[in-house]
Amino acid sequence: AAMPGAARRLYRRILLLHRALPAALRALGDRYVKEEFRKHKAAGPAEAQRFLREWEATLIQQQINEDKQNLREKTVYGIQLTEENLNDFRDEQIGQLKELMDEATKPNKEITISKDSERKT
């Protein structure tokens, strides 16, 4: 089943915003977003609404960060999660955040970009 219009627009806006990221972070972010939206396709109405609200808030924060970055030289990626945010996550989501953090902070910055095992460094 196709995503409802609002979800599809949000999904596209997130991927569009990722275009401003360095290639390795863009690939990582795009893969994460695609996986999360795919997992929530069959969510119930209440969970779907919460999912979309959280992603909308994340998108707005990313846009604010991008605007701030335009005013200074050093580029900063991501947002700081509060303890309250973390308490709302399920154990599976905490595990995903840890995996994402580990992947994003790898010392050699080697990340698999596509399914065909093409490597970018």
- Whether the pLDDT of residue 117 is over 60: the answer is no
Q: Per residue in 64-91, pLDDT tens? A: 666 666 665 555 566 677 788 778 878 8
Q: Please provide the average confidence, as pLDDT, over all residues in the chain.
A: 76
Task: Answer yes or no: are the C-beta atoms of 69 and 23 closer than 8 Å.
Answer: no
Residue-range domain boundaries for the chain? 5-78
Residues 84-110, mean pLDDT to the nearest whole number: 77
Measured CA to CA, the distance from residue 9 to residue 7 in angstroms comes to 5
In terms of DSSP H, where are the helices of 1-121?
5-18, 23-39, 45-70, 83-88, 91-104
Q: Per residue in 8-28, pLDDT tens? A: 888 998 898 888 888 888 898
What's the whole-model pTM score?
0.53
Of 45 and 106, which is predicted with more confidence?
45
